[in-house]
Structures are given as C-alpha cells and as structure tokens.
Amino acid sequence: MVEAGISGVQMHYYSVCQRKLWLFSKGITMEQVSDRVMEGKMLHERAYPQLEQKEILIDDTFKIDAFDGEYVREIKISSRMGEADRMQMLYYLYQLKQRGVEKKGLISYTKERDTEVVELTEAGEAKITRAMAEIRRILQRPNPPGLRKLRYCSKCAYYEFCFAMERDEE
C-alpha cells in the first residue's frame, strides 16, 4: 500500500523542528528569503553534473535529488542536521519500496566532501511509519507546536518569524 501526502521536506522539518513543519505545511513559507536555502538551491544546480536525472518528482508527492545506479542520492551542504537528513533519506527509500523499487541511499555532504550510505531496515521502516503518524497528528493541530529554542534556530529561515517578539524586547 502506497502512503502519500507527506513530502521529504516535511519529514526533514519534522526531525528538525515540529513548529517549522506545521508552519511550512500550512503555507507559511520563509524559505524564499533564506540565504541558506538559496545556497542549497545553487548547490543542487551545480552538484553532480554527470548525473542525467536530477530533481525527480515521484507521484507528485516527493522529489528525489538524483538516482545514481542502485542508489538514491541526496545532496546536502553539511552534516549539521545529519539525523534529519537520514530520516528524509529513509522516507524516500520507504516510499520507493512501497512502489516496488528497492534502492540504497547516499547522502553527499559537499562541505565535508563526505558521503553516508543509508539502507532501509525493518527498524528504519518502523521509525518512518511512526514519524508519518506523528506528522499527520501535528498537522491536524489548530495551532503550531510551542516555541523551543534549538541550537540551529539562528540559521533557520523561520528565525525572524518565531523570535520577532524576543528580539523586540532586547
């Protein structure tokens, strides 16, 4: 059974910040003003020119950076959000498996010039199905989850949105 309706970006945001997930999913998008997001977009355009297929939309649900032989490749600037990157890749591998395609994942961290291999295991599948259920629960809420200051908030596209009142008090 193919489960749809959740994007890879939503899985990544869930792993980083549930408030960001809720805001993004409700159409409150701040990415268009983020230097970090623009840097990532430029990276995607230039990375791996030898790969023929990049930015592949699957069933109008999720977009994979590239297929590279037996691998799905995801390109990231750095490994700073490694756990969220792995969750996003596991989500892609899970979704592909639901569609009868079994692949391994490669997450390429360009700043570190490092690549991590990710394989979907039974434990990984269980983790993804739990996360998908939690994402659906979060998105049904009438209000965003409460504000929590995390170590990477200052570089987040939503920083000004979330912390506007805090900055006014300084």
Task: List phi, psi (to 5°) of 11.
Answer: -65, -40
Residue (of 167, 155, 154) closest to 37 by Cα position: 155
Position with higher pLDDT, 34 vs 145:
145
Position with higher pLDDT, 169 vs 54:
54
- Beta-bridge partners for 66: 54, 73
**Mean pLDDT, rounded, for 142-149:** 90
54 pLDDT band, cuts 50/70/90, is: low
84 pLDDT band, cuts 50/70/90, is: very high
Position with higher pLDDT, 155 vs 82:
82
* Domain spans of the chain, in order of start: 8-16+42-144
110 pLDDT band, cuts 50/70/90, is: confident
Neighbours of 40 (CB within 10 A): 16
Distance CA 40, CA 120 (A): 25
Residue 34 has pLDDT above 60, yes or no: no
Give pairs for 65-69: CB < 8 Å, separation 24+: 67/103, 68/106
Mean pLDDT of the chain: 84
105 pLDDT band, cuts 50/70/90, is: very high
170 pLDDT band, cuts 50/70/90, is: very low
Task: Give the CATH architecture of domain 8-16+42-144.
Answer: Alpha-Beta Complex (3.90)
Answer yes or no: pTM beyond 0.85.
no
Distance CA 116, CA 102 (A): 18
Position with higher pLDDT, 105 vs 163:
105
